[in-house]
Structure 1
Amino acid sequence: MSSLESSTPGDHSTPPSTRPLEFHPPSAPQASNTRRAYSADWDRFERWCHHNHRRALPAEPDTIAAYLADTATHGATRQGRPYSHATLTRWIAAINQRHRSAGYAPPGTDPRVKTALATIRSHPTPSSAQPPRRTAPLLVEDLTTILAVTRNACTGWASHVAERRDSAVLLTGFAGALRRSDLETLRIGDVTADPAGGLRIPVKHSTGAHDDSTPTVLLPPTQSHWTCPPCAYTRWLQVINAWDTTGRPGVIRLLRHPTPFDAHICHGPLRKPPHPDAPLFRPIRKNGNLTTTALSGSAIHAMIRRRAHDAGYDNDIVAQLGGHSLRAGFIAQALRNGTDVHAIMQHTGHVSTAMLSTYLPARTPGAASVAAEIGL
């Protein structure tokens, strides 16, 4: 994701702000990666055929069907998870490609192979019937640490652009208990000021919603400006308005010598954006330029992991984080704080308390029993 990785302030090879964004289609690098993947897939198939006394080239459709069935039953990735349907499909494509290169008909197109693949997909094997791995939550303490490292690491105006966006994503997603799809689809005009203070954000993918209404969540000001979602939004909106009105020069003027962020800046009316229908969160090029498209869910996922890694989190912890860590973190933190369950459900859109229980931490041996503290 070259368009959203950490900014490089020293990169001065930047096009004018009026230059249209260019799309460079992938070519040789991706083709090379595909060839390497196909080669590894074919080697794996050849080894299996050798151990099972089967002919690999040309292979019979029944051989490929048996290969898939054996892998689905006994095979697993290095992480102990079953191979996905997409991986099995790629294996078939690699086998077909090798056969075509050798002048043989692709055996993976045979109905027997397609039937075997469909059977695996519709009837999970014991190895694939594993509970899904839950995304680890980011709690308030985690966000405070990540924000501190992210902001203190800024060394130039371009890095300030990425910091302001990422801070707004983290705090908006956490305080709103938003899914990454909610963050991805937010438009600037969707965010409105609440009369009592704070921001109102629509949640278009509310759990359990059965009507056409669009619920909203309130992002109230917090005691500390450092972790205040409306302040983070305001700081990012300043960048967006500068870019959408005067382009790159305006952003440089705003951030080359930024005003110290030492107090709340969220009080007062929101400035009317020049393009309310534009995406709120956008990819950022390494030179600090904003793009016109929306920041994707996968990019949000990668940003959270990258910021946690930069903050010194262990690789094993980082691997458990993702786009859902913000929503999961809000729920887990609220439950640990003793917040009323029904109040949490109203904020998150859940319709069942059973779903919230999945966010509770596992009970550790020796933990105090509720009965011991009931007062008998």
Structure 2
Amino acid sequence: MAGPASPALPAHLQDLTDRARGYVEAASSANTRRAYAADWKHFTAWCRRQNLSPLPPDPQVVGLYVTACASGSAVGTSARGSTPNSVSTIERRLAAIGWNCAQRGMSLNRKDRAIATVMAGIRNRHAAPPRQKEALLPEDLIAMLETLDRGSLRGLRDRAMLLIGFAGGLRRSEIVGLDLGRDQTEDGRGWIEISDKGMLVTLRGKTGWREVEIGRGSSDATCPVVAVETWIKFAKLARGPLFRRVTGQGKNVGPDRLNDQEVARLVKKAALAAGVRGDLPEIERGLKFSGHSLRAGLASSAEVDERHVQKQLGHASAEMTRRYQRRRDRFRVNLTKAAGL
């Protein structure tokens, strides 16, 4: 649904208008924009079915909408046969409504009691502990690498992505957002610099730029730097995106950057093929792994001072880093005994 029309601008300002639109898009990731667009479509469709107007934003209407989401009746006119949304999904949809209203020059007061009180009740009744993805430990990663075809371009690329993602503690969007050098593409999120000692990865994140050091491994077979060098050599890359689509029955490398969903698919496929967590049913195993498993794996495996792990992951607090450490030495500090009991 379009917002109120803006006054026509002089023709000589059109270029600035286009640039401003590009900066607005750059303020949030492509994944966030896609999710917000889908959430706005969901909200406006619900409003149409209820003969309500989504604009201007009415806190009471939004409060009824989130109630419908929590009860499972936001899809149709009845709650029967519908699955209630999780608290995290409802909170994202609420953020999407506020964002879309703001883009149309309108504000949604999320602190209004018609929204805030309802959301407090939804959190109290339906909030569940977060379901964390399984951390991939070094032995898991090595087993996953063995499932890849060493003689194909796709296998070389996937090997490099898994190793750099693990060793760098990178998000999937950061992995595919890398370029071979600085200022080579408009949609890049960073670049790599390879030296004798290792690889320096420069990344642009939500809070600014950060540098990630990836040292050379003890063996070429598991060294992330060697894996990246091998991929670059055989893919014959000179500039632009580092990780690209392999085309022509695996014989050619295209110019286009990989979508970050490909990282999640790769991690899940390789983990299943390697038999990681083979004690679980296959369907449950498939839900355990994602691109986040690489990041959590580094945090859980690196036997170094926690501060170094925090810096590598780009976390603002040590508490956030500890959430990633799936294999912590729990109860190492026993405060019960320390207190004399």
Band of TM-score, shorter chain: 0.5 to 0.7
| CA distance in 2: counterparts of 1:139 and 1:234, whole angstroms | 23
Q: 1:72·1:83 contact (CA, 8 Å) conserved in 2? A: no
| CA distance in 1: counterparts of 2:116 and 2:233, whole angstroms | 49
Asked if residue 216 in structure 1 is aligned to residue 207 in structure 2, the reply is no
Tell me which of 262, 267, 271 is aligned to 1:304.
267
Corresponding residue SS for 1:149: coil
Asked if residue 333 in structure 1 is aligned to residue 301 in structure 2, the reply is yes
Q: 1:208·1:350 contact (CA, 8 Å) conserved in 2? A: no
C-alpha spacing 1:128/1:287, structure 2 compared with 1 (3 Å) = farther
Post-superposition shift, 1:194? Answer: 2.9
C-alpha spacing 1:225/1:123, structure 2 compared with 1 (3 Å) = farther
Tell me which of 268, 277, 285 is aligned to 2:247.
285
Q: 2:70·2:84 contact (CA, 8 Å) conserved in 1? A: no
Name the residue aligned to 1:201.
Answer: 201
| CA distance in 2: counterparts of 1:83 and 1:215, whole angstroms | 28
Name the residue aligned to 2:132.
Answer: 134
| CA distance in 1: counterparts of 2:268 and 2:84, whole angstroms | 18
Which amino acid counterpart does residue 333 of structure 1 have in structure 2?
S
Post-superposition shift, 1:67? Answer: 9.0
138-147 or 67-76, which deviates more: 67-76
Tell me which of 166, 170, 194 is aligned to 1:174.
166
Corresponding residue SS for 1:217: strand
Name the residue aligned to 2:143.
Answer: 145
Tell me which of 61, 64, 67 is aligned to 2:51.
61
Post-superposition shift, 1:84? Answer: 4.2
Post-superposition shift, 1:186? Answer: 0.5
Give 1 or 2: higher strand fraction. Answer: 2
| CA distance in 2: counterparts of 1:140 and 1:165, whole angstroms | 19
Post-superposition shift, 1:236? Answer: 0.6
Post-superposition shift, 1:343? Answer: 1.9
Q: 1:199·1:220 contact (CA, 8 Å) conserved in 2? A: yes
Tell me which of 315, 327, 331 is aligned to 2:283.
315
Corresponding residue SS for 2:140: helix
**Aligned positions of 1:259-278 closer than 5 A:** 273=238, 276=239, 278=240
C-alpha spacing 1:373/1:73, structure 2 compared with 1 (3 Å) = closer
Tell me which of 155, 174, 177 is aligned to 1:163.
155
Post-superposition shift, 1:82? Answer: 5.6
| CA distance in 2: counterparts of 1:85 and 1:69, whole angstroms | 6
215-224 or 68-77, which deviates more: 68-77
| CA distance in 2: counterparts of 1:345 and 1:83, whole angstroms | 25
Tell me which of 254, 274, 294 is aligned to 2:257.
294
Post-superposition shift, 1:85? Answer: 5.8
| CA distance in 2: counterparts of 1:299 and 1:360, whole angstroms | 24
C-alpha spacing 1:234/1:69, structure 2 compared with 1 (3 Å) = closer
Q: 1:309·1:315 contact (CA, 8 Å) conserved in 2? A: no
Unaligned runs of 5+ in 2: 1-41, 53-60, 74-81, 95-113, 182-190, 277-281
Runs of 4+ in 1 over 6 A off after TM superposition: 76-80, 86-89, 119-122, 362-365, 371-374
**Aligned positions of 1:1-376 closer than 5 A:** 61=51, 71-75=68-72, 81=86, 84=89, 124=119, 125-126=122-123, 129-151=127-149, 160-189=152-181, 190-194=191-195, 197-205=197-205, 208-209=207-208, 214-241=209-236, 273=238, 276=239, 278-285=240-247, 287-288=249-250, 289-313=252-276, 314-334=282-302, 337=303, 339-361=304-326, 370=334
| CA distance in 1: counterparts of 2:310 and 2:49, whole angstroms | 55
Which amino acid counterpart does residue 170 of structure 1 have in structure 2?
L
| CA distance in 2: counterparts of 1:222 and 1:321, whole angstroms | 24
Post-superposition shift, 1:72? Answer: 2.6
Q: 1:75·1:83 contact (CA, 8 Å) conserved in 2? A: no
Post-superposition shift, 1:165? Answer: 0.5
Post-superposition shift, 1:120? Answer: 7.1
Which entry has the higher C-alpha Rg, 1 or 2? 1
Indicate the structure whose relative CO is greater, using CA pairs within 8 Å and at least 6 residues apart: 1
Q: 1:283·1:291 contact (CA, 8 Å) conserved in 2? A: yes
Unaligned runs of 5+ in 1: 1-40, 46-57, 90-118, 245-272
Post-superposition shift, 1:318? Answer: 2.8
Corresponding residue SS for 1:284: strand
Identity percentage over the alignment?
A: 25
| CA distance in 2: counterparts of 1:218 and 1:364, whole angstroms | 26
Which amino acid counterpart does residue 175 of structure 2 have in structure 1?
L
| CA distance in 2: counterparts of 1:70 and 1:80, whole angstroms | 10
Post-superposition shift, 1:215? Answer: 3.0
